[in-house]
Amino acid sequence: MLQFHHQFQRITINPEVCFGKPCIRGMRMPVSSILDYLSGGMSVEDILREFPYLEKEDIREALAFSADILHDRYIPLAKAS
């Protein structure tokens, strides 16, 4: 059962695809993978070349979705030494 996020039209969730992780437009491309690629040093252009079925707006929405999820979350951290 494919579900679309109420605020992000390109983010979909389907329990039968990628274990229900938020994905891009119903494809097997989890939002977390896009974040992993970016944090690993790939540029947006690199990602678009490697995955031609993605669009620049997909990457922008993956970032916006991730930021939105963290807005009201408290993440406990260990005290710095």
pLDDT single digits (tens) 23-75: 999 999 999 999 999 999 999 999 999 999 999 999 999 999 999 988 877 77
Residue with tokens 């990457």, as numbered in its chain: 59
The encoded tokens of residue 75 equal 């993440």
Looking at residue 20, its pLDDT comes to 92
pLDDT score for 75: 72
Domains and CATH numbers, the chain: 3-70 (1.10.10.10)
What's the pLDDT score for residue 77? 75
CA distance linking residue 5 with residue 9, whole number of Å: 6
- pLDDT bin (cut points 50, 70, 90) of residue 15 is very high
